[in-house]
Structure formats: structure tokens, C-alpha cells
Amino acid sequence: MDFPFSAIYNNVKNNCKGGKNMRKLYIDNIRWITVVLVVLYHVIYMFNGVETFGVIGPFSDVQYQDAFQYIVYPWFMLLLFVISGMSARYELEHRSEKEFIKKRTGKLLVPSTLGLLVFWWILGYYNLLIGGGLEQMAAVPKPVLFIIMAVSGIGPLWYIQMLWIFSVLLVWVRRVEKDRLWKLGEKADIPFLVLFAIVIWGAAQILNTPVVVVYRFGIYGAGFFVGYFVLSHDEVMDRLEKCWLPLAVCAVILAAAFTVLYWGRPYAEHSVLDTPLCSLFAWFAVIAALAFMKKWGDISNTLTRWMAAKSWGLYLFHYLFIAMTAYYLTMYTKLPAVLLYFLVAAAGFAGAYLAYEIIRRIPVLRWIVCGIGGKKK
């Protein structure tokens, strides 16, 4: 089962001049590699000493492993939205807008709404347990507590909720612009792509939810639509590919600067996320990753195919098993930090793969929890 907007083009005419029937393997590989980074980030996050709300907390006053959060958080979800926008363009090459929305609703909206009440409330239970919320809500009526747990179980599902909103908005935009803007996007050169960092910074300032900071509609929407209108052009990606090395060097320098300058500050709060440096770093990391993978990551082997096929399940289920394992191990054992990191990471991967394989075989539940319609393939 493929990730939303999976880059499948086996029977689809590509949008570059002269069109080719092909699968963009580098997009598949970006997707699963980014999901792996998300899992590793959440393992570090569970024991971090910077963003301590709703997590187990740090092992010591200074944790240099927390630097991983500063290095990946500003850009990895932005990258997922960008390639989701690119893949949306490719999907709409061979699917009607009505089919597109129907498929997106089943794949994205159902698991992130109905799925909360049927399954993901379990994650909400552990989130409240870890954060101490259950003790504070002892007097809350059980039906109300269940709703709170369901909402608290959104976890990584915020991404697919936003993706559904952007998908619906995209269909409306397409009907207005009628590919005029998309055709203009083909002309984008490297200076334009670099200067788009200004747009990213501007977008980061708007449409942010006040409490739950992950819902950054401005910057993620900008990423999604630039993916659709600009980066979905093979000509643009060919230009980007040629600059992979200088872009990668710039991204590394910006990563170091961001980590050093903001070390110890809450990297996931708007006071840091909305700064010019963070936006510049995020955008350079995104286009550097695209350029690098276009150059070196357009490959397929047994490992990449397996990881790509399982990335959806890994994304959906990993945090549940990270939270469960982290809670029980810290509550009932005195294991050293290194071993805890290893066991929690192993549980995140293994638990997610196992849960996905089980649930995707159960009728109805596979649709409500995983967004998988039809018969099991």
C-alpha cells in the first residue's frame, strides 16, 4: 500500500516534454527516508530536554543527542508536503478531480477523524498518561474523557489532516487557474528557487494555530503548492539536480548555524520556527534533498521497494509504539539511556510494521484506521 500521493506513473504520461512512462523512484525514496527520520526524531523527542511537554523527559541536564531535533525539525515535514504537492500533480494527470478527492477522503480524512474514535484514542490514552493528564482528569465524566483521548490521539495524523485540506483547496485552485500558473512554473530557474526562501519565510508568519504549533498552514501550504506548480516539472528538477552539491553545502552550513544559535531554545515554537534563519535553513534543506536524491537517489532495489511499500504503515503507527514502550520501560525498569533509545526505536519500527500488517487485513478496520479501501492486495 502506497503513501498518499505515491509517485506511481507506470501507466501515466509524464509531464515533461516528450512525456515518458516511468516511476520517479527518487520521490519514493525521499518519502520513506523522511518517514524514517520522523521515527528517529520521535525517539529522541520522547526523552528530549527542550520540548518537555507530553514526553518522558531528559536523562541529564545536557543532551547533545537533542541536536538531531534542531537539524531535522525545521524541514522534514515541509519536504513531505513539497513531494506531496509534486505527486498530486502526477496523480491528477490520470485521475479526474472527483476521483482524486474521493480517494484522498478515504485515504486521509477517514483515518484522521473516524479513526480517532475507533483506534487512535489508544495513542491519546498514552499521551495523557505520559503527560500526567489522566491524573488531573480523574473527575472528568468518562464520555468526555474518551473524546479528550481521541483528540489527543491525533499525533502524526495532523499531517494527513492538512494534506486533505490542501487537496480540496488544490481542486478549487485548478478550476480557477486552468494550468496557466502550472505552465508558468516550468520556467523557474535556480535563482527563483533560491529566492523562494523569502516566500517560505513570509508564509511561516501566517495561518498558524495558536496552541498546537504543528498546524502551520502557511508554510506547509506554500510547500505543497510550490511542489505542485513548480517542482513537478521535470525541467525544473533537472536544473535543480545540477546544483546538488552547492545546495547541500549551503544546507549543512545553515543547519550548523541554526543549531548553534538556537541551542537550548524551544525549536518547535513560533519564536524559533518563524525566524528568517529557520525558514532559510528549512527551504535550502528541502531543495538540497530534492536535488541530491534526483541525482543519486533515483534507484530501486529490494530494500528501497520494501521500505517504500511499508512507509505508510510506519508513519501511521510508529508513535503509538514509541509512547507505549517508553512509558513502560521508564516506569518499570532502570535501563541505561543508550539501551532505552535502542529498545524504543526498535519498538517503533517493529510495532508499526506488525500493526500495519495485521490491521490492513481486517475488513472495515483497514479502511477506518489505515485508509485502505477495497480488498487487500
Q: Is the pLDDT of residue 183 over 50?
A: yes
What mean pLDDT do residues 141-166 have? 96
Q: Is the pLDDT of residue 218 over 50?
A: yes
What mean pLDDT do residues 359-366 have? 96
Mean pLDDT of the chain: 93
Q: Is the pLDDT of residue 15 over 50?
A: no
Give pLDDT tens digits for 220-247: 999 999 999 999 999 999 999 999 999 9
Q: Is the pLDDT of residue 135 over 90?
A: no
pTM for this prediction: 0.94
What mean pLDDT do residues 342-347 have? 98
Residue 167 near residue 88 (C-beta atoms within 8 A): yes
Per-residue pLDDT band for 16 (boundaries 50, 70, 90) equals: very low
